[in-house]
Structure 1
Amino acid sequence: MAYLKIKDLKKHFVKKTGGMLSSTKETVRAVDGVDLEIQKGEILGLVGESGCGKSTLSRTLMQLVQPTSGSIILNGENLSSLAHSEVRKRRLDFQMVFQDPYASLNPRMTVFSTIAEAVRQRHPKMKGAELEKKVVDLMSTVGLDASQMKRYPHEFSGGQRQRIAIARALAPEPKLVIADEPVSALDVSIQSQILNLMKDLQRDLGLTMIFISHDLGVVHYIADRIAVMYRGKIVETGTAEEVFHAPKDEYTRHLLSSIPKLVTSA
């Protein structure tokens, strides 16, 4: 059985168009019948251009927005059928890493407070030396020095902030991590460091992840399998090598052709 099974998932929004006297309703099919299966310990790369529905899908999986229809089954349990109070409890099992680490971190909280707060979501009675050791271990896991724990987000570089955000995501001991464009706001040299960190976490922690990006080259590097999304639908899935080297869908070929190529002169 797949660790995460998404079956015919839809998220439609209704918006009004036109003026006050002649307004009409239009349905935006942001996610329109998505079927996906993800195995435990796998990184699935979800790729597509801006506006294709990737972020809406991620927020629907996180239960931040309610699906219009369909099911989200995590480890055999249908999350879509749970009561709101139960969803809040289960949200610890799936955490998110956002595109802009500075915007996602509270500027008034130190690194210690940020990570400790997330740890206590899973272990509310943990405190003192035990809690500090847990924070130190998490910082070490993502490549940060414990001497930095009393600093604030503005005292770190973009790459270091994303490491803090990753540590915070790992703190509640989630079963699934959704990374939504986690390297697109970083310099190219820093991107590779964060990508390598995520691959190390997959190897060392058995982490299951959905890695979302508009860049097929980045997804090819980090993902075991790739799902290509276009206009709310999954148009192609396969191993990273299959999708990158033998694409079946015209849209996938379009994404591949848009990857910058190194031009050298003789």
Structure 2
Amino acid sequence: MQTIPKPTIPKPIVLSIAGHDPSGGAGIQADIETLGALGCQAATVISCLTIQDSRDVHELIPLQASLITRQVETLFQDYPIRAIKIGLIGSAEAALAIADLLARYPDVPVVVDPILAAGGGTQLAGKALLETLLERILPRATVVTPNSQEARRLTQRQQLDECAAVLLARGCQAVLITGTHEAATDVVNTLYRPGIPHHRERWPRLAGSYHGSGCTIASAIAAGLARGVSLVEAVSEAQRYTWESLSAGWQPGRGQHIPNRLYRQPSE
């Protein structure tokens, strides 16, 4: 029997706190695929269950906040977590528990993907969760990655530069606003940081719509930070990886396409 060699360099471990998507397009599965493809080990904490397909979320079932806390504490006692990625939270109570946990690990980079609605339009965050996200979680974020619609809902502003300014004033270190939902030929993603000129990147717009692109880019940024690269480099690498995953994506069901996050793996 052939012996499979063990990795000589330990993989950086990234903790993903996110919801479970049975369709496999987004959520925890998207994070696992992205982190694995980019050389990291995913440790995962389920924040909520969902009943969803590639068209929409039909039901959201939040987990008890105490279960989220116990999952995170158990992992931190065992693993050297190098970065944290936060996706769908599910409830204000869960958000408060996550905020308390982040306060206990201030040296770990945090990427927040503020998921407020499903691709099919179902709202996934009420007023209490929004307020907790803004007041308790964003101040501890290394980077928050809203799309343009999420940025406007979070800030009640229309101009994206103003949205970013409001979010930075909340205390997060950086904001990446993605432009997939904007009416432009190219997709323009803009990285904002306090006192530093904006950093914009343009990507050719792909046909169709994609389920899980936000999860992919946020997890890819977390992977870069866990590997120790700079924020700008992590964001740029994440955009390229996400665009290539979308470009190689496919439509398994009757709704949105899903990214092919393992496009770099050899096919059988």
Please tell me whether Structure 1 or Structure 2 has the larger radius of gyration of its CA atoms: 1
Q: Same fold (TM over 0.5)?
A: no
Higher strand residue share: 1
Instruction: Using structure 2 for the length normalisation, give the TM-score.
Output: 0.31
